[in-house]
Structure 1
């Protein structure tokens, strides 16, 4: 006879996972709502506010004595464009869709994983796929969202400066990107090894 040993979560574990499930639903719902509101805000394409990054740009800020303006190095700012080119407006919408979709996919995978753990099954091929999907969806989303945001900023700068301002930064912060990739890969490996060890153990019982 083959006996399959499953993990039995304690009552405190179940309470914690239910709290996690509830938090996941709230996070996913909030992300979708924020994306929809932002899209509704920008679609009229009038006085569109866009986040932008700068490099080597000097501005003045009232930080001196009695509010005296002093030069500062501008890194990030929100700029308002009277309107955006169609391509930039589409990029801005895609940015919001990508952000919401990334969060929804990651949360959905983790919620399904938590439900599986609550039923006593931690390591399985399905759980390995869920962890891997969540990790690499987050990785792709983390890179895609600022990319499309930068495209929108390019259009705003082009409209404000008649195409004469060329100091726009097109970049993605690589440090957290590498960290996310490492965590996703490590989690996938751990669950794959756990699944294989569990199947080998069950075959020996």
Structure 2
């Protein structure tokens, strides 16, 4: 029979968390390697660009007949990117992967602590705070790198009129997630303080 933690989780539950976290880490690393293989040679690098409702002829009709459509996102291939664009493309690939791995590792350690019955502790508060910071900084730095890579790639192949149609989209999901986890960190901190006060009264 499997051992139970103080709040009912078994050793198999811990292994399930570790396995799922390990799968996410490995898949993230594989995706990062694939992306770096595309970027590092600096030849025909696919770069995603954001456009403001640009109308283009798309081969979507019968027998590939072009149809007019509105495009807000496109992937273009560029070669011989300048240093700034090249570094930005690398950063846009590396930063989200590292942030994801960092978040997963923190969550795995947090789950281990919770399953061991360690709830409101300084370590758990720091782990939750680290998750919030990783989400926020990962999103911000990734957004900056992606924007710079997009602008640099378009500058190589597009005319000025198209460059003026570039728009920036903010992923509010990441922002809200960072805020939510930050609120959770505050709750952990309050619980930790209450636990210390309670222990001091005993």
Q: Aligned match of 1:114 in 111, 115, 124?
A: 111
Match of 1:8 among 6, 17, 39: 6
Q: What TM-score comes out, normalization by structure 1 length?
A: 0.86
For structure 1, the 5+ residue unaligned runs are 1-6
Q: SS state of the match for residue 165, structure 1?
A: helix
In the TM superposition, what is the alpha-carbon distance from 1:80 to its structure 2 partner? 0.9
Q: The residue matched to 2:70 in structure 1 has which SS?
A: strand
Deviation at 1:32, TM superposition (A): 2.1
Distance 1:197 1:189, change over 3 A: same
CA RMSD in angstroms, aligned pairs only: 2.1
CA distance in 1, matches of 2:158, 2:175: 35
Shift, 1:133, TM fit? 0.6
2:199 to 189, 193, 202: 202
For 1:162 and 1:55, the matched residues in 2 are separated by 15
Q: Which has the higher contact order (CA 8 A, sep 6+)?
A: 1
Choose which of 46, 49, 56 in structure 2 pairs with 1:49: 46
The residue aligned with 1:125 is 122
SS of match in other structure, 2:117: coil
Q: For 1:41-64, what per-residue CA distance to the aligned partner results, in whole angstroms no more than 9, with x for missing partners?
A: 211111111111110311122445
Structure 2 counterpart of 1:71: 68
- Counterpart-to-counterpart distance in 1, 2:151 and 2:80: 12
State the match for 1:85 in structure 2: 82
The answer to whether the Cα contact below 8 Å between 2:55 and 2:68 also exists between their aligned partners in 1 is: yes
Deviating beyond 3 angstroms after TM superposition, the runs of 4 or more aligned structure 1 residues are 62-68, 162-165
Shift in Å, 1:155: 1.7
Residues 85-139 of structure 1: CA deviation (Å, up to 9, x unaligned): 2211111111122112101211111111112122210111111011011112112
Q: Give 1:162 shift.
A: 6.0
Residue by residue over 1:3-29, the C-alpha shift from the partner in whole angstroms, topping out at 9 and shown as x without a partner, is xxxx713244x4333211211122122
- Local SS of the residue matching 1:139: helix
TM-score scaled to structure 2, two decimals? Answer: 0.87
- How far residue 83 of structure 1 moved from its aligned partner, in angstroms, is 2.8
